Amino acid sequence: MVDSSKAARKKLLQSQAFKETLECMEMSELLELRFVNKRIGQEIIPRTFKKLRYACPDEDEDKKEFYKILSNVQRLEIENINGTEDHLQGIKAMAEKFGSKVTYLFLTFDGEQMDKPDIAQQYIDVFAEFPNVETLRIEVYEDGNFTSILEKLNSDANNNFPWFEKITTVKCYLVRDLRKKEELQKFFTRFRNLRMIKGVIEEEFDFLSGFKTHGKRVPEVSVTHPETDALRNTLTEFLQYN
């Protein structure tokens, strides 16, 4: 005969209400529960965590491997990408684990300027392992070989890269030291089913200008209020064009 308290606990752990409760908890609180109950640590946490924020480690940092216990990540934020092979391997491991489940991808590049087409192609191959991304957010502090990645993606005349078909929303709120900003502006125009683009127009980067340059339009635009009259005029001109 099964102990009544064990049966009740099992029923609780399997219930939809318990699952929804876990999803509403803060990450830190949820992580503490894994030390209380073995099943929470080994089964429930891996499938309950749907959002992961991962910072690629610097050379003197230990590799972050918490993602290895997760199995159901749908919103993935990857920071500090420097364009090197070391960072590529970390992203590749996540792509292999839950790449097909990710629908929201936020990439932040921050690395020395370099021009390495071979590594750029490897990054593209790994990014292709996230084939179901619908919302893409990009930020750039320093180039981190991102320009080389963009040049290769933009040279694909057949638009075969899976994001060009799948992505419907693009976000861009910060771009600083990107070697060829026009490549990112062009990249934003490549998505065949783009429904909305969101971002900030700044002196450093106008994320909308590529649409006029390449004769493209987008159904919906959401722009944080520009800080200067010149930038507000730029936005007005684009809206009239669009």
Give residue 36's pLDDT.
47
Domain at 137, CATH number: 3.80.10
Give residue 57's pLDDT.
85
Number of domains in the chain: 2
Residue 4 lies in a domain: no
Same domain as 155, residue 43? no
Pairwise CA distance, residues 103 & 85, whole Å: 25
Same domain as 65, residue 35? no
Residues 133-182: tens digit of each pLDDT: 999 999 999 999 999 999 999 998 777 899 999 999 999 999 999 999 99
Pairwise CA distance, residues 238 & 226, whole Å: 13
Instruction: Say what the pTM is.
Output: 0.82
**Are the beta carbons of 130 and 96 closer than 8 angstroms?**
no
* Domain containing residue 174: 50-241
Q: Which residues of the chain have pLDDT under 70?
A: 1-47, 60-64
Residues 32-50: tens digit of each pLDDT: 555 445 555 556 666 677 8
**Are the beta carbons of 92 and 119 closer than 8 angstroms?**
no
Give residue 218's pLDDT.
95
Same domain as 226, residue 152? yes
